[in-house]
Amino acid sequence: MDIRDLSSIHQPVLLDDCVRLVTGGLEGKTEPVIVDCTLGLAGHATAFLKAAPTARLIGIDRDAEALQLATQRMRDEGLESRFTPVHAAFDEFDAALDERGVGRIDAAFMDLGLSSLQIDETERGFSYAHDAPLDMRMDVSQSLSAERVLAEYDERDLSRIFASYGEERFARPIARRIVAYRTQEGPLKTSAQLNALVDDVVPKAHRPAGNPAKRVFQALRIEVNGELDKLARTLPQIALRLRQGGRLVVESYHSLEDKTVKSFMARGLKADAPANMPVVPDEAQPFFKELTRGAIKADEAQIANNPRSASVRLRAVELVRPLPERARRRFEEQVEREVR
């Protein structure tokens, strides 16, 4: 892909809001550090560095091709001296910072879900709109692919991931049909085959708007890339690294991601004490301040310009005081437990 094509391919969602939330607390700070945990093609990251001319940015991405293109984009924009690329999954957050001698950070940003590169490169198999091999790996060096999941998981596990990660009402009959198909015809290998199978199973009267297979594709993508587990491991790592006044800004694109983010942020937005306690001790006071009043959503004009923004939920919090010891221990234990 030619670097000159990036601006037309990658349309950052809610870009102005993201820039305001990520860089709004950086004024007056000396060489503040921003971590973009989902660098993609650097659409957000370049905007952050332009808005914060003294900041440096660490960009993490597990997709080697995206990382290469983003690095070239930074070079072409004249921002390379303030940019550090990291090839890793975002749940390797602590290791990525430790290896580069970075302690505290001033802002962390996550744009969850697929990048435009992954969607638009049809051979990656992420989109149900194009016939392609059933791959769906964000990191093509990993062994687990969508094709392997469909070929090797039993009916029970397939039904579980379709129901849990895709919120698919017909998870069980779809899983049953996949197992029957591979027994009779061999493994499913292309998105067109999976589309046709789901189309045949889901009753027309109960189909969601758009392609009836979209929830199955979503569930497979989450399973292949371990997205929700990685998100749950990453959020406490970020909180433990934030300086006072540091910000966590997250864009989610489906309800399970948003639920995970909302639940995590809520821990620091309310007092860690019984509701009837007359005086809340300092140790139990909230340590996050909400910056978005719930979630920011795309308006009609943004959705018309970029249909992928229709489901976005943008949430942000600021660390208003050092993490209380109790919260710190809880986050450290969560990181350790999730890693195990």
- Binding-site members for S-adenosyl-L-methionine are 42-44, 61, 90, 111, 118
Contact assessment for residue 5 and residue 116, using Cβ atoms and an 8 Å cutoff:
no
Binding annotation: 42-44, 61, 90, 111, 118
95 φ, ψ to 5°?
-65, -40
CA–CA distance, 248 with 268 (Å, rounded to integer): 12
CA–CA distance, 114 with 185 (Å, rounded to integer): 31
The alpha carbon dihedral of 207, 212, 217, 220 has a sign of positive
Sheet holding 288-290: strands in order across?
83-87, 56-61, 33-36, 105-111, 242-252, 313-319, 288-290
CB atoms within 10 A of CB 306: 16
Contact assessment for residue 316 and residue 292, using Cβ atoms and an 8 Å cutoff:
yes
Tokens of 56: 């440096």
Tell how many helices (H) and how many strands (E) occur in the chain: 15, 7
Closest by CA to 291, choosing from 325, 322, 268, is 268
Going by the DSSP 8-state scheme, the letter that residue 4 receives in this structure is: G
* Amino acid code (one letter) for 72: Q
CA–CA distance, 46 with 64 (Å, rounded to integer): 18
